Amino acid sequence: MERRKPKLLVIGHARHGKDTAADMMKNLMDLDFTSSSVFVGQEAIWPQWGQERYSTFKDMFEDRVNYRSTWANLILAYNTPDLSRTATEMLKDNDMYVGMRNKAELLVCKENQVFDYIIWVDASQRLPAEPKTSNQLVVEDADLLIDNNGPEVNMHIAIGNLQKRLHEEGFDVSYEPLEELTEDDPSFRIYRDDPGDMAEEVTVEGTYRDKAGNPLPYRDWTDAPEDATKVLDHGFFKVLEVMGSDQTICNSARMSYGRGTKKISNDAGLINYLVDHHHTSPLEMAEIRMHIRMPIFVMRQWVRHRTANLNEYSGRYSEMVPLFYVPKHDQICVQDKVNKQGSAEPMNAEAANIVEATIRVASEEAFQNYQYLLDIGVSRETARIILPLNTYTEVVWKLDVSNLLKFLWLRDDDHAQWEIRQYAKLVSQAVMEYFPLVFAAYANARETTNLSNEEIYALITGDTSNLSKSKAKRVIDFRQDNLG
């Protein structure tokens, strides 16, 4: 029997990845779809209402946010008396309906068996749900779920599994079974990214080839993205996106008192004032988004800065890659006797060699045991609990400029652990590059020393006996640095 294309409904909350999933299915399975908003706009809104008010469909479509109730009423009229009309008409020329939100419409479509499968795309562990006034549907309305709480590779895997399932059920989804390669196969050695780019080779286990025997492009998450800066032994740092500028911050600040003073020459002074007096709201109007790979123990310090948006690689959804941090000899130090959370001087070379070997052997053994647990069927979320804190993780991290400065105050500082300072230096460089006036104000503020009355008295008299150890050190350091 000739295969036919499946008829799919893709639902979920706003910004949870419905369109992304639909695009992946379109490319992988050769399925067609169009936005439901575009479809009903063309079929119902434009001919009945829009063309009398707008010169083009594009103008009407871009202005729809100002007429949501009008659009809803016209769509309801289009679907009366048959609530399945939008879905039925759309699927005449498309394979997917993306974005249904009305419960009554869904129930009628189910009754009429309009769809072969209803798929829910879920990102509820990292993004908020829509209110019920906007989306009446819930995950229980779907037949299948695509999890979008982890990295994008998980969606690729889920959609690949869906493609295989649909193929096995007799649908036309452009599925071609793949042959697994072995290490003995001469095609086992393949290239990253574009197969035509022979600049860098990589050997991988358990990869695949097509029916013609050609190796498929492979990209492991351990590969650093292009233009990333290497940190530590296997880490990296890369700025992905910058929103706003010094001027954005100034314009936001001037909203507080109108547009009376708007001279470019005042920008540096205004930003200095904001930083010095801790007026953070304008500084929160600009952001930097970064992609970072770091050891888990560094990540645990990093997430103490809680006013941020982040998404981390998940050992529940994906296998952890055997990639771990081993410090160099000059960073293998003895415990500080005063600072209970800090290090003192480096260990001697012989002792550092023993420590390095101990860390490496323990890490390798932990990953061997981790793989053993996976091989005997233990779940990923349980198997990962034996992995050490020096295992590398990845995170996409977005923070506004105000909280970036707070991060730098603590982490780009001699009191911070050496490993996180290597990343903080790159965060500092990013702020300096994209927000030079803010960085100059921050640097100036860092050079300012604020002493308490008792510290000032000790500085004048030279008597630090009544101070705590930390305050006494501040006074002594200040005297040495400034008074000689």
CA 187 to chain centroid: 34
The per-residue DSSP string of 21-42 comes to: HHHHHHHHH---EEEHHHHHII
With H, G, I as helix, E, B as strand and everything else as coil, classify residue 146.
strand
How far is the CA of 397 from the CAs of 101, 150, 239, 307, 311, in angstroms?
A: 31, 14, 10, 11, 7
Structure-token match 């005449």, residue found: 92
Gap between the Cα atoms of 4 and 270, Å rounded: 65
DSSP 482: I
Gap between the Cα atoms of 252 and 341, Å rounded: 40
Catalytically annotated residues: 411
How far is the CA of 239 from the CAs of 6, 292, 399, 443, in angstroms?
A: 40, 9, 12, 21
Gap between the Cα atoms of 235 and 83, Å rounded: 53
On whether the CB atoms of residues 7 and 116 are closer than 8 A, the answer is yes
With H, G, I as helix, E, B as strand and everything else as coil, classify residue 230.
strand
The amino acid occupying position 159 is: I
Preceding omega of 81 cis (within 30 degrees of 0): yes
List alpha helices for 256-400, DSSP H: 267-276, 296-302, 349-375, 380-383
DSSP-derived pairing of the beta strands 235-243 and 287-295: antiparallel
With H, G, I as helix, E, B as strand and everything else as coil, classify residue 59.
helix
Residue 158: name the closest of 126, 215, 119, 208 by CA: 119
The amino acid occupying position 20 is: T
Residue 5: name the closest of 23, 31, 24, 26 by CA: 31
